[in-house]
């Protein structure tokens, strides 16, 4: 694995560092003596992340009974696990070198999958909702790296998918030495993410994990995989909705016991939630 990791770095170049505010918060969370004020002070050093986090905390997505006015208050109300998710989501935009139309689509794709994964985890009781949120958020971090490294070739892939020339997974082989899944796994390894999340980045599309031998990991990856399908169906992070995608047919063999009505219900709930709260997550 280490040789593969090094090969990816050699081929792609330097992998991006974790955003500074996220690094500081993750480090603080490992300190048993830290306080809510310590976390708030670290987050407040990045004004954009702070503003975005407060906006998300006050969205209907988290159903606060009263307005959250300070970062410290948000930490107390939401808890550290949710705070970590929101800091990472709020700082993800900073990974991009530029922020044009392609970057906007990638960011919407990441946020949409995070929201969708959390919802699927809650409704199907398939995984921890916050772990699922992070799995969805970072499943395509490899695409961000591809776009930062070679935006012209990345755009060729996007246009090829739009023109019906093949799937992203098929076309990326023509332009990059490694898939976005392998690059994503390498990034999350560099960031010292838990193994479960690095495996989500690698296997969110192929689900190449043993359902019998690693049931919890399989359920987490499947949760993110379902959210990915919901995003495609609704056109979240895409140029247009994939109206021809049959959710049940694409998932029935991977998720035994799932029923069309279950998927229809979660799809509609996801659509409502994303439309209602998208500005809180996506606007500056």
| Most confident by average pLDDT, 3-7, 15-19, 23-27 | 23-27
Residue 130, pLDDT above cutoff 90? yes
- Same domain, yes or no: 115 and 32: no
Count Cβ neighbours within 10 Å for each residue of 87-104 and write b for 16 or more, e otherwise. Answer: bbbbbbbbbbeeeeebbe
Q: Does 246 lie in the same domain as 133?
A: yes
Residues 260 and 120 placed together within one structural domain of the fold: yes
* Model pLDDT for residues 146-201, shown as the tens digit of each residue: 999 899 999 999 999 989 999 999 999 999 989 999 999 999 998 999 999 999 99
* Structure confidence by residue, pLDDT tens digits, 67-104: 888 998 888 888 888 888 888 988 888 888 888 999 99
Alpha-carbon gap, residue 130 to 81, rounded angstroms: 7
Query: Does residue 189 share a domain with residue 48?
Result: no
Last residue of a domain, one of 72, 95, 118: 95
| pLDDT for the residue 8 | 74
What is the span of the domain harbouring residue 202?
97-284
Helical axes 20-29 vs 80-91, angle rounded to 10°: 170
pTM to 2 decimals? 0.91
Residue 131: give its domain's CATH number.
Answer: 1.10.3210.10
Mean pLDDT of the chain: 90
Confidence band of 268 (pLDDT split at 50, 70, 90): very high
Residue-wise pLDDT tens digits, 222-231: 999 999 999 9
Same domain flag for 63 and 139? no
CB 274 within 8 A of CB 236: yes
224 and 129 part of one domain: yes
């Amino acid at each position: 694995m280490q040789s593969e990791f090094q090969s990816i770095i050699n081929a792609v170049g330097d992998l991006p560092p974790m955003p500074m505010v996220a690094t500081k918060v993750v480090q603080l969370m490992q300190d048993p003596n830290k306080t809510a004020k310590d976390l708030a002070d670290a987050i407040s050093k990045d004004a954009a992340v702070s503003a975005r986090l407060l906006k998300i905390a006050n969205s209907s997505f988290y159903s606060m009974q009263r307005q959250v006015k300070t970062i410290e208050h948000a930490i107390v109300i939401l808890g550290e696990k949710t705070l970590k998710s929101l800091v990472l989501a709020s700082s993800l935009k900073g990974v991009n070198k530029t922020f044009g139309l392609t970057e906007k689509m990638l960011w919407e794709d990441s946020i949409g999958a995070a929201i969708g994964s959390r919802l699927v985890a809650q409704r199907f009781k398939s995984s921890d909702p916050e772990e699922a949120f992070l799995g969805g958020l970072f499943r395509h971090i490899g695409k961000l790296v591809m776009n930062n490294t070679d935006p012209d070739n990345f755009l060729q892939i996007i246009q090829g998918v739009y023109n019906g020339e093949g799937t992203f997974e098929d076309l990326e082989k023509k332009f990059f030495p490694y898939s976005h899944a392998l690059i994503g796994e390498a990034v999350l390894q560099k960031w010292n993410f838990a193994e479960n999340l690095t495996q989500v980045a690698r296997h969110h599309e192929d689900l190449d994990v043993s359902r019998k031998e690693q049931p919890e990991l399989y359920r987490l990856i499947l949760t993110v995989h379902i959210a990915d399908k919901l995003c495609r169906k609704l056109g979240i992070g895409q140029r247009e909705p994939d109206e021809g995608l049959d959710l049940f047919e694409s998932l029935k063999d991977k998720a035994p016991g799932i029923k069309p009505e279950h998927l229809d219900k979660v799809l509609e709930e996801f659509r409502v939630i994303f439309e209602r709260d998208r500005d809180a997550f996506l606007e500056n």
